[in-house]
Amino acid sequence: MIALVIFLIIVVIVVSSLRKGAAGNPQMQRVISIVRNIAIVGIFIAIIFSTIVQVGPGEVGVQVLFGSVQDGVLRSGLNFVNPLVNVENMDIKTQAYTMSSIRDEGMQTGDDAITTLSMDGLTLKLDLTVWYRLSEGDAPQVYRTIGTDYVEKIVRPAIRTSIRDVSVGYSATDIYSTKREDFVRQVTKNLEDAFNGRGVILERVLLRNVELPDMVRAAIDEKIAAEQKAQQMVYVLQKEKQEAERKKVEAQGISDFNRIVSQSITDQTLQMKGIEATLELAKSGNSKMIIMNGKNMPLVFGTPNF
């Protein structure tokens, strides 16, 4: 825009010179006057537009005046600035830096997984993603001291260094299974320290995959399977114990019932029941043969056929 203003000023100067040379030609003077007026209007329009700068959503504008970075930042939207200022837009949205062994999945072409050593000397390959963003207030300082390529200069080296520094304090099995979350927390802390004062804010570290040597991974899988089987056996034993307790309670209930019933059956009770049965038989119109056994109960045989 500044270049356009300078060009139009030059046009006005040239046209004014030509107008003086065409003093004897009214028609030529009229054309030159029109061109000069158009150029002057263009200069004013260009100056007005050069004072307006648009900053996109999720960005801040860093002002640079003759090579000097200004401290203030421009927010998203339209901003009025010095027409001589150059504005560099910088992204402050959440960004993801991925290092993966899968081709073209990470930020670098090819296998970009981090190769590191564990405490027990095993070689590990780690796939991870780091969420981060540029600090809005620190954008001018980042542009002044690092530049727009702060990801390659700060973020990537810090991630690789933190992973390797932390991994040597954990065994391969810890990173693979039992202490994975502790490992991620320690890496997060190291990265926060590395980004501190650099204008980069860490949001989260995601450990996506841990690749172990085949023999180690098979041994770990067997160990985990054995632990799960042991836990299943504990559950089965607890279930069987509960079933045994249930059967014991049920048997005790039956035993108590039989004991109560046996205690309630006496000779008098049996004699009374026998009398009641004899009376019921006597009420029947059919002939019967009742033989007393000489004790408490009658013996009843089938009805004889006559």
Give the pair of three-digit tokens for residue 22: 């065409």
In order along its 306 residues, the chain shows pLDDT tens digits of 556 555 556 655 665 665 555 555 566 666 667 766 677 776 677 777 777 888 989 999 999 988 899 988 998 888 888 878 888 999 999 999 998 888 777 777 777 888 888 888 888 889 999 999 999 999 999 999 999 999 999 999 999 999 999 999 998 888 887 788 999 999 999 999 999 989 999 999 999 888 887 777 777 677 777 888 888 888 888 888 888 888 888 888 887 777 776 766 666 666 776 677 777 766 666 655 555 555 555 555 455 544
Task: For residues 193 and 201, give the distance between their C-alpha atoms in angstroms, rounded to a whole number.
Answer: 10
Task: For residues 149 and 237, give the distance between their C-alpha atoms in angstroms, rounded to a whole number.
Answer: 62
For residues 86 and 3, the answer to whether their CB atoms sit within 8 Å is: no
pLDDT of residue 306: 44
| C-alpha dist (Å) from residue 21 to 13, 40, 90, 245 | 13, 20, 51, 121
β-partners of residue 97 are 130
The contacts of residue 127 (CB under 8 Å, 6+ apart) are: 98, 99, 100, 101, 102, 113, 207, 208, 209, 210, 211
pLDDT of residue 175: 86
pLDDT of residue 66: 86
pLDDT of residue 270: 65
pTM exceeding 0.75: no
Q: Where does 103-155 have alpha helices with state H? A: 139-145, 150
For residues 124 and 131, the answer to whether their CB atoms sit within 8 Å is: no
| C-alpha dist (Å) from residue 257 to 250, 253, 254, 261, 264 | 11, 6, 5, 6, 11
| C-alpha dist (Å) from residue 108 to 102, 149, 159, 289 | 10, 15, 14, 110
Task: For residues 217 and 228, give the distance between their C-alpha atoms in angstroms, rounded to a whole number.
Answer: 16
pLDDT of residue 251: 83
Longest dimension (CA), the chain: 169
